[in-house]
């Protein structure tokens, strides 16, 4: 079976700094893949490369079996993205924005109009017909960005922190929508710092740390790879901290030295 | 909540990028720009800013005819020049005309990059996530910049030149229209090529510093050339026709450049085959510029990241941490004061330091400072040189125009960072004062430089009365703009996005604000006319000083008054203030 996403020795350097270092990633079709890492580990840079927004310094990217560089336009038709910063057009209304995105993806006017209406209804944005996107709350903008990412029915969906700033009710609705997409055969590649959500949604996990892919597999595989001291199975948070939370000397990086910020009351 | 069951489109039903008609995507983008324009107006009207909307429309009605003159003027000049030279069989001067148009076109294009970009409603690179082929993206990028001032002025000038040639010698008309259309395309590609490569070269701080140094060097070289300008039989060239003289002197190498090829294609001096070869050469230059532009654009299309550092989200590898001995609260209070602290309060000193860091990294502002000085140099050798009384004010007015615009959006570069000013225990008046001090420092430097240029180049001594009146006039203009600018900065701020192409967009203000700046400055310049008439009527050149001095004092007083109320103003407008600067 052709993987939905496959990278080989994917590397991205910014001057002397290597943001993504020799990453070999495989995400099979139909997987709900969680891509985790501490702040600045290289998650967003990886997503930008996987969606064609940033050129790799070296390495290859294959989406749905085709080389992304060679088939950029065709593959962009097959993928949906909620990019970092959402990249919305603030001076449009939600309806206008979705219509624009639909047309840019080649949907005909009738289909675009119909899907726009359905998506706005689904996202609870239908009542904001005249409001400009710039006047939306962060959560509303997030929902709109997600609506725009799926309007053309993508086969692979890249979501960079999709639940950040979204209220619990909307998050629940979005989660069920994403799960139905998975059931229909789509592949979802998601980054999030909320490990509980990732644990609940994702079947497979990749962990990137300091630009290197340090773990990849199903949650069970990751759990098996990390020694557990107790009888209870490790949570994803514990697995994550085990893998990236310790520095080279084995100390947890999050543990502050005693003298740090001692002036804080 | 409705139920939605999104499913991936069936593979067979999914159109490839080729299947998306070009017209669909091009029309979608045209529609997008239209809706952004309409919604911009609707937002002003719908948010209770009816006054602002009326002001915006009124300003456009007032300013557009003046702007139209800037297009019509060069076109008329170009058409008449072409007609005269072709009628008089001075063929070689056509290449001088075309060369001059190219020079002006590219100069305006570089000078106007920031303005054009700020007027642009969105960053075209955001289109990269859509399924566009490179060819279509190239067309889109060419289309999106078509309505720039340089393109319009240049195209009209060339069109007028073609008409001039056709009227003077109708048999040359068809060739003139075809060749000059190609020549216009060449200029469009050339300006795009320059802009995109300049953006690439200036993407690192080191390159920007080198560029700034080069600009300064060019400026100094102009002065050096002027001091050592030829005297005697060529001295007459300095009277208004200096630029023409320079262009004529370049004729021998213009024949190898597009202006020369375009001329030789049109004029009936050579064998038809030779003219055909010249036409091919013109096409080759045009294709070359397009290819170089396309090459760079293709790199961007593939996802090039233009900056010396990692993007915002990518952390730089952590440096080894050291933990100094903890400071006690008492120790904080005993920190030695710096020199800045002695001159200004800590809040103002901190803001000034921040402003300096921003200015240092803002090449656009430095370009804005240096390029008008080159024009001041040209003015000083041209028509204004014959009127020393107006030379100083005219030159200063022009030199300050670009920088005055920056006073109208002083919080733009801070973007969401302005929340710190609202949260920190500082007086907002201090923050504004610090920003205005930084702006004033730049204006002062620009004024001194322009003043020096004028004094060095003026053929006849500038009367003392004219100098005093210019000084008061400058104080009036600066403080009037400072007052209006600070007001607009609070009432209608606009977020400036740093990085990539935005490095050349760092003076972005709203179009209404840009029109206010233009109207204010034009009004200030026009104010000189009745004052000059009065001085002439009463035969008293010092009258201008007596008029501008009170105006200057009034402007300073108005500014002081505003500064006293700035805190309250920001608090009153904090909703709009925060939303416009922090929102998307």
CA distance B132 to chain A (A): 5
CB-side neighbour CA atoms (13 Å) of B11 = 3
**Taking CB atoms and an 8 Å limit, are B122 and A78 in contact across chains?**
no
**Closest Cβ opposite residue A55 in set B3, B304, B325:** B304
**Taking CB atoms and an 8 Å limit, are B305 and A54 in contact across chains?**
yes
**Element housing A159 (H / E):** strand A156-160
Work out the widest C-alpha separation in chain A, in whole angstroms. Answer: 65
Choose from B42, B47, B129, B135 for mutation: most chain A CBs within 10 A. B129
pLDDT in tens, B431-464: 899 999 999 999 999 899 888 888 877 767 778 8
Domain ranges, ordered by start, for chain B: 21-34+49-216+240-301, 339-582
The span from the CA of A5 to the CA of A48, in Å, is 13
What is the number of helices (H) and of strands (E) in chain B? 23, 0
**Taking CB atoms and an 8 Å limit, are A17 and B2 in contact across chains?**
no
By CB neighbour count within 10 A (0-12 exposed, 13-18 middle, 19+ buried), where does B322 fall?
Answer: exposed
ipTM of the complex: 0.75
User: What integer best gives the mean pLDDT of chain B?
Assistant: 76
Quickly list H helices, B11-148.
22-46, 50-87, 92-111, 113-119, 134-144
The span from the CA of B470 to the CA of B454, in Å, is 12
pLDDT in tens, B503-528: 334 444 566 667 777 777 778 777 87
**Taking CB atoms and an 8 Å limit, are A14 and B307 in contact across chains?**
yes
Choose from B4, B41, B323 for mutation: most chain A CBs within 10 A. B4
pLDDT band at A25 (very low <50, low <70, confident <90, very high): very high
pLDDT at B293 over 90: yes
Least confident interval from A98-107, B47-56, B460-469: B47-56
pLDDT in tens, B337-365: 445 456 778 888 888 888 888 877 666 66
pLDDT in the model for residue B316:
46
Contacts of A152 in chain B (CB under 8 A): 9
**Closest Cβ opposite residue A104 in set B130, B303, B327:** B130
pLDDT in tens, A54-71: 889 999 999 999 999 888
* Cβ neighbours of B329 (radius 10 Å): 8
Residue of A nearest to B306 (CA): A14
- CATH code for A32-56+74-244? 3.40.50.300
**Element housing B294 (H / E):** helix B272-301
For A96-109, b/e burial (b = at least 16 CB within 10 A) is: bbbbbbbbbbbbee
The span from the CA of B419 to the CA of A160, in Å, is 25
pLDDT band at B20 (very low <50, low <70, confident <90, very high): confident
Domain ranges, ordered by start, for chain A: 32-56+74-244
By C-alpha distance, which of B441, B442, B457, B439 is closest to B394? B457
Model's pTM, two decimal places?
Answer: 0.69
pLDDT band at B180 (very low <50, low <70, confident <90, very high): very high
What mean pLDDT is predicted for residues B119-145? 79
**Taking CB atoms and an 8 Å limit, are B122 and A52 in contact across chains?**
no
The span from the CA of B129 to the CA of A47, in Å, is 12
CA distance A110 to chain B (A): 13
pLDDT in the model for residue B359:
79
**Taking CB atoms and an 8 Å limit, are B15 and A106 in contact across chains?**
yes
């Amino acid at each position: 079976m052709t993987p939905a996403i496959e990278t080989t020795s994917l590397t991205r350097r910014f001057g002397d700094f290597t943001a993504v270092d020799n990453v070999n990633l495989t995400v099979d079709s139909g997987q709900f893949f969680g891509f985790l890492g501490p702040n600045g580990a290289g998650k967003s840079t990886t997503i930008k490369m996987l969606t064609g927004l940033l050129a790799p310094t070296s390495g290859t990217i294959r989406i749905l079996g085709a080389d992304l560089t060679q088939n950029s336009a065709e593959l962009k038709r097959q993928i949906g993205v909620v990019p970092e910063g959402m990249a919305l057009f603030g001076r449009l209304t939600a309806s206008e924005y979705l219509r624009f995105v639909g047309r840019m993806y080649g949907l005909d006017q009738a289909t675009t109009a119909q899907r726009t209406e359905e998506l706005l209804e689904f996202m609870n944005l239908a009542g904001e017909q005249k409001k400009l996107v710039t006047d939306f709350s962060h959560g509303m903008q997030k929902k709109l960005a997600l609506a725009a990412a799926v309007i053309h029915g993508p086969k692979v969906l890249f979501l960079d922190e999709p639940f950040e700033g979204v209220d619990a009710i909307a998050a629940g609705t979005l989660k069920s929508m994403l799960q139905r997409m998975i059931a229909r055969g789509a592949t979802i590649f998601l980054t999030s710092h909320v490990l509980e959500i990732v644990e609940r949604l994702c079947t497979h996990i990749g962990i990137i740390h300091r630009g290197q892919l340090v773990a990849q597999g199903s949650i069970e595989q990751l759990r098996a790879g990390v020694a557990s001291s107790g009888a209870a199975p490790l949570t994803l948070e514990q697995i994550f901290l085990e893998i990236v939370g310790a520095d080279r000397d084995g100390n947890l990086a999050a543990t502050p030295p005693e003298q740090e910020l001692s002036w804080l009351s | 909540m409705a139920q939605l069951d999104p499913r991936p489109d069936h593979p067979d039903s999914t159109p490839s990028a080729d299947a998306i008609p070009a017209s669909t995507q091009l029309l979608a983008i045209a529609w997008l720009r239209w809706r952004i324009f309409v919604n911009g107006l609707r937002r002003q009207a719908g948010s209770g800013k009816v006054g602002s909307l009326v002001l915006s429309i009124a300003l456009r009605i007032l300013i557009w005819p003046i702007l139209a003159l800037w297009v019509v003027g060069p076109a008329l000049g170009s058409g008449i020049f072409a007609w005269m030279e072709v009628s008089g069989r001075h063929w070689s001067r056509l290449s001088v005309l075309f060369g001059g148009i190219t020079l002006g076109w590219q100069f305006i294009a570089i000078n106007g990059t920031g303005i054009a970009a700020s007027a642009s409603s969105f960053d075209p690179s955001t289109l990269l996530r859509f399924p566009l082929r490179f060819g279509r993206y190239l067309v889109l990028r060419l289309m999106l910049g078509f309505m720039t001032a340089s393109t319009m002025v240049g195209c009209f000038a060339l069109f007028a030149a073609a008409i001039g040639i056709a009227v003077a010698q109708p048999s040359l008309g068809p060739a003139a229209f075809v060749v000059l259309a190609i020549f216009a395309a060449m200029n469009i590609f050339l300006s795009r090529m320059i802009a995109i490569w300049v953006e690439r070269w200036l993407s690192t701080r080191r390159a920007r510093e080198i560029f700034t140094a080069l600009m300064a060097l060019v400026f100094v070289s102009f002065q050096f050339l002027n001091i050592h300008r030829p005297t005697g039989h060529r001295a007459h060239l300095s009277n208004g026709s200096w630029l023409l003289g320079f262009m004529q002197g370049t004729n021998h190498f213009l024949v190898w450049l597009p202006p020369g090829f375009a001329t030789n294609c049109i004029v009936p001096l050579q064998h038809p085959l030779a003219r055909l070869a010249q036409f091919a050469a013109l096409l080759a230059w045009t294709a070359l510029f397009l290819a170089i532009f396309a090459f760079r654009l293709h790199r961007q299309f593939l996802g090039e990241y233009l900056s010396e550092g990692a993007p915002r989200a990518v952390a730089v590898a952590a440096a080894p941490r050291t933990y100094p001995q903890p400071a006690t609260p008492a120790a904080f209070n005993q920190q030695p004061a710096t020199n800045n602290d002695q001159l200004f309060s800590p809040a103002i000193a901190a803001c000034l330091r921040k402003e300096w860091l921003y200015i240092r990294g803002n090449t656009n502002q430095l370009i804005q400072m240096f390029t008008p000085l080159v024009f001041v140099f040209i003015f000083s050798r041209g028509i204004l040189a014959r009127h020393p009384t107006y030379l100083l004010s005219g030159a200063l007015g022009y030199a300050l125009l670009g920088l005055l615009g920056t006073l109208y959006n002083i919080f733009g570069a801070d973007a969401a960072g302005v929340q710190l000013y609202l949260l920190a225990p500082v007086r907002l008046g201090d923050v504004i004062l610090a920003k205005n001090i930084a702006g004033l420092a730049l204006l002062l430097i620009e004024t001194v430089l322009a003043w020096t240029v004028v004094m060095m180049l003026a053929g006849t001594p500038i009367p003392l009365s004219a100098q005093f009146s210019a000084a008061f006039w400058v104080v009036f203009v600066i403080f009037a703009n400072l007052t209006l600018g600070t007001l607009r900065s609070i009432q209608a701020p606009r977020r400036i996005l740093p990085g990539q192409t935005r490095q050349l967009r760092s003076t972005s203000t709203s179009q209404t604000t840009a029109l206010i700046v233009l109207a204010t400055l034009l009004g200030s310049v026009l104010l000189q006319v009745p004052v000059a008439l009065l001085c002439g009527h009463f035969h008293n050149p010092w009258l201008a000083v007596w008029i501008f001095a009170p105006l200057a004092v009034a402007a300073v007083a108005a500014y002081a008054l505003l500064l006293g109320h700035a805190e309250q103003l920001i608090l009153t407008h904090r909703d709009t203030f925060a939303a416009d600067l922090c929102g998307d």
